[in-house]
Amino acid sequence: MAARYWLMKSEPEAFSWDDLQRDGETIWDGVRNHRASNNMRAMKVGEKAFFYHSVKGKEIVGIAEVSAADLTDPSDPEGKWATVKVKPVRALERPVTLAEVKAEPTLAEMELVRLSRLSVAEVSPAEWKKILDMAKG
């Protein structure tokens, strides 16, 4: 099966792209949405994810890589929620805003647009390529 792509949202005041770059790796804990948790269950080591600043900024700012998969969220005392560890790959050449994504007709079906509250979303290969092209300016 081909590698898949993802988008992971974080409020920059809680944990930003700069924080991930400083720390070098983090566990993506605290997700309490079944679809988002299932997306993390599906992730494999080496797969890439866009790092998205939610609430403030509302923009894709970087690329992270799954560094550990198939983990149980340590912040869940019942042990039913999944998580992964991620590490930074690189910042985008320039951030791609949510407004830009919504204005691009080829991205109308992207989970970021359709399921706006989903914190961990799948990104199709075509969507991944388009976002990278948009980041080039």
pLDDT tens profile 13-44: 999 999 999 999 999 999 999 999 999 999 99
Whole-number Å distance between alpha carbons of 120 and 59 = 14
Calculate the alpha carbon distances from 34 to 74, 98, 118 in Å.
16, 23, 10
Burial annotation 54-76 (CB, 10 A radius, 16+ → b, else e): beebebbbbbbbbbebebebeeb
- The domains of the chain, with CATH numbers, are 5-135 (3.10.590.10)
Q: How many CB atoms lie within 10 A of CB 107?
A: 20
- Residue 3 pLDDT: 81
**Which residues of the chain fall below pLDDT 50?**
none
- Residue 2 pLDDT: 75
Question: With the CA atoms of 41, 131, 135 and 52 taken in that order, what torsion angle do they form, in degrees rounded to the nearest 10?
Answer: -40
- Residue 1 pLDDT: 64
Question: 126 and 2 in contact (C-beta within 8 Å)?
Answer: no
